[in-house]
């Protein structure tokens, strides 16, 4: 039987990959936008970066 911790770590890895994938897609999409008009959700991007840093540092601490 799988332990809960093992299951949670697997889930976190999957979530990591998913969030990173979504962020990179979003980032490439933002780069395709015309430069003259700044993207309206700069705060959202900052939130993503902070979240990604937190999650990746949590993963490093876990190892």
Q: Which residues of 19-40 are buried (b: 16+ CB within 10 A; e: fewer)?
A: eeeeeeeeeeeeeeeeeeeeee
Tell me the DSSP string of 1-37.
---HHHHHHHHHHHHHHHHHHHHHHHHHHHHHS-TTS
Domain enclosing residue 19, as ranges:
4-62
Domain count, the chain: 1
pTM comes to 0.36
Give the pLDDT score at 39: 53
The stretches of 33-63 forming alpha helices (DSSP H) are 42-62
Confidence (pLDDT) at 26: 75
Written as tens digits, the pLDDT of the chain (63 aa) is 568 888 888 888 888 888 888 887 777 776 665 555 555 556 666 777 777 777 777 777 765
State how far Cα 3 lies from the chain centre: 25
């Amino acid at each position: 039987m799988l332990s809960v911790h093992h299951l949670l770590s697997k889930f976190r890895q999957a979530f990591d990959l998913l969030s990173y994938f979504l962020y990179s897609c979003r980032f490439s999409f933002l780069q395709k936008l015309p430069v003259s008009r700044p993207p309206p959700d700069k705060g959202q991007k900052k939130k993503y970066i902070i979240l990604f840093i937190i999650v990746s540092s949590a993963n490093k601490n876990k190892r």
